[in-house]
Amino acid sequence: MKRTLQVLNEMERDGVFTRYAIAGAMAATFYVEPLLTFDLDVFVVLPQTPGGLLTLAPLYDALRARGYSEQENECIRIEGVPVQFLPAYNALLEEALKEAQEIMYEDVPARVLRSEHLLAICLQAGRSKDRERVRILREQAKLDQNFLADVLRRHQLEDKCKLWTE
């Protein structure tokens, strides 16, 4: 994982994407007991093409140039870790990336989404596994309730949160 994060930092420095943060179950493990996961979800802000479209092609080209071409479903292996790159495609994800917390993982700097944003993203995604993650985050993570309430209000997720948590 250490070397995987080093590669992500190199790619950000090289401008392949302008910002990244660890998301999903791996991000949740920074706040709660470990969850079962098979990959590292990474949200990224990608440079826009002249036509205004977002494409992962330059990201995959940069990985191939670094010797990483082994694909596994929607993931690419970086130093043995399956990594799924997900573009920040809406306001909640863009905010989550902007507010991501700087961490150190084995002396390597990285960013991880805040627990409040992880919870909001789970609500927005709405899958059954997300419902369970909401429960776990509420029980185990140290959530800033004021910050969470503000995020839920701004992204119209208050009603869904009430429905899922009552």
pLDDT tens-digit readout, 118-127: 999 999 999 9
Average pLDDT estimate for 10-28: 94
- State the Rg of the chain over Cα: 16
pLDDT of residue 76: 95
Backbone φ and ψ for 19, nearest 5 degrees, come out as -165, 145
Give whole-number Cα distances, 108 to 10, 43, 63, 81, 101, in Å: 11, 18, 19, 16, 14
Percent of the chain surpassing pLDDT 90: 80
Across the chain, mean pLDDT equals 93
Residues paired with 102 in a beta bridge: 111
pLDDT tens-digit readout, 53-69: 778 888 999 999 999 99
- pLDDT of 116 > 90? The answer is yes
pLDDT band at 38 (very low <50, low <70, confident <90, very high): confident
Given a contact cutoff of 8 angstroms between Cβ atoms, the answer to whether 76 and 69 are in contact is yes
Query: CATH number of the domain at 2-165, please?
Result: 3.30.460
